[in-house]
Amino acid sequence: MQIKKKGKHIITSSIEHHAVLDACKFLEKQGFEVTYLPVTPEGIVRVEDFKEALREDTILATVMHVNNEVGTIQPVEEIGNICREKGILFHVDAVQSFGKIPVNVDDLNADLLSVSAHKIYGPKGVGCLYIRRGTKIQNLLHGGGQERKKRPGTENVAGIVGFGVAAELAIKEMKEDSDKLTKLRDKLINGLMERISDVKLNGHPTKRICNNVNVSFKYVEGESLLLSLDMKGIEASSGSACTSGSLEPSHVLQAMGVPYEFIHGSVRMTLGRDNTEEDINYVLEVFPEIVERLREMSPLYQ
Amino acid sequence: MGKEKTKGGLNMYSEILMDHFTNPRNVGEIKDADAVANVGNVVCGDTMRIYIKVKDDIIEDIKFKTFGCGAAIASSSIATEMVKGKTLDEALKITNKEIADALGGLPPAKVHCSVMAADAIKKAIEQYREKTKEN
Ligand code: FES
């Protein structure tokens, strides 16, 4: 990267997706220095921390718009403002927010912004990187003139067209979808909190994307919860060590300082536009029994 | 969130394992147990507790409580089934490999869960022997 002459400091957050974290780790090996900002217990980056992390040689900041595990909406606008003032390149990972809340590169002061098609009901394997005019980035591949030489190769036309249509629809139906999902989300969260004891909401109650539910149940382990939910036709995921192939608990929940016993019993459910109130009622009906059964088996539960 | 069942537990577990996870055998406590052993799993922080009741050197009753993944719960269940009615020496010989095999195999990342079950049984028996030595 030619940019190294200008400086070698990068700022990101500790709750980024691996797509960003792994890239940062790679850049560290190339001699860049990376600051991983901490987050509040509710999973939000503090603008103050960002300001403090700034250095003379900071050249790039990359922060996600919405966290994929706990759904928290990050203060990217403010961070973008600061970057603009200081002349720092700003990349926003908008994979989780695009199509659900307004994403405007000018409002966010983003120089770079990435989005993925499959998160908005588009085809898998397509995404896009917005590059503000005048922002210089190196070619990713070499070998042709396509995509302004940045990523040459014959275009995946079907994917691109599918993505375009999905984006159009997502924007058109954004308000309606997100109002509906927010209602379902809150019904699910509140219902679980009411019906089950020793439960904790992970993330922020309101600074939260409309489709994300992430709750933890003490005394039960996440994978056994997922198995039980799966048998009832409910698809979920967990931040528990036992569910991650690497046996590492969720880096996001760890960064938030969620106690281990709660990370173990964490469950994320993602709502989609096809979900109905009936689905939520069904989940609320079967969930307490599942937790109860597993707690009965747990040596930690008295 | 369709309501149709998916087969074979998250596509990584056998039918036998899922049966033991869904209908675990010997789960619970023994109030007047002769030995109670707790084992923790250093890999992922899970725990298992085994209660045994011994008569004439034979495991007359055994119960477990497990906090852990599906493989851990199923391992505890099948392992207790395998040693119930066995002599202490026979029970001590049960290996984690035999437990995993009995479950129809375990994915590599889950082998340590069967180790936890084998260890818990060993520990309970050792504890029982310690105790009876003293008397
Ligand atoms: S008990 Fe954690 S992976 Fe099995």
Going from the first residue of chain A to its last (302 residues), give the mean pLDDT of each consecutive group of 10, the final group possibly shorter: 75 97 96 97 98 97 98 98 96 97 96 96 95 89 84 90 96 95 98 97 98 96 95 94 84 96 95 96 97 94 80
- pTM for this model (two decimals): 0.91
With contacts defined as CB-CB under 8 Å, which chain A residues touch B73?
A: 224, 297
d(CA A106, CA B106) in angstroms, rounded, equals: 51
Domain assignment present for residue B117? The answer is yes
Q: Please state the atom number of ligand 1 nearest to the C-alpha of residue A243.
A: 3
Residue B4 counted as domain residue: no
HSE, CB side, 13 Å, CA atoms: give it for residue B1.
21
The CA distance from B30 to B20, in Å, is: 20
Q: Is residue B6 part of a domain?
A: no
Q: How far does the CA of residue B68 sit from the closest CA of chain A (Å)? A: 5
Instruction: Show the domains of chain A with their CATH numbers.
Output: 2-171 (3.40.640.10), 175-296 (3.90.1150.10)
Q: How many domains does chain B have?
A: 1
User: Is the residue at B44 inside a domain?
Assistant: yes
Q: Tell me which residue range forms the domain holding B116.
A: 12-130
Q: What are the tens digits of pLDDT across the range A5-39?
A: 789 999 999 999 999 999 999 999 999 999 999 99
Residue B4 makes CB contacts below 8 A (sequence gap 6+) with: A233
What is the rounded CA–CA span in Å between residue A37 and residue A78? 15
**Nearest residue CA, atom 2 of ligand 1?**
A242
Q: What is the CATH number of the domain that holds B124?
A: 3.90.1010.10
pLDDT value, residue B46 = 85
How large is the ipTM? Answer: 0.88
Residue B98 lies in a domain: yes
Q: Looking at the domain assignment, is residue B114 inside a domain?
A: yes
In a domain, B122, yes or no: yes
B5 lies in some domain: no
Chain A contact probe: residue of B27, B44, B73 with most A CBs at under 10 A: B44
**pLDDT lower than 50: segments of chain B:** 1-7
Of B30, B41, B42, B43, nearest in space to B80 by CA: B30
User: Which two three-digit tokens encode residue B26?
Assistant: 């010997």
A227 in contact with ligand 1, CB cutoff 6 A: no
Interface of B with A (CB under 8 A): 1-6, 9-10, 13, 18, 21-22, 24, 27, 38, 43-49, 65-70, 72-73, 109
What are the CA-CA distances from residue B135 to residues B31, B121, B125 (Å)? 21, 22, 16
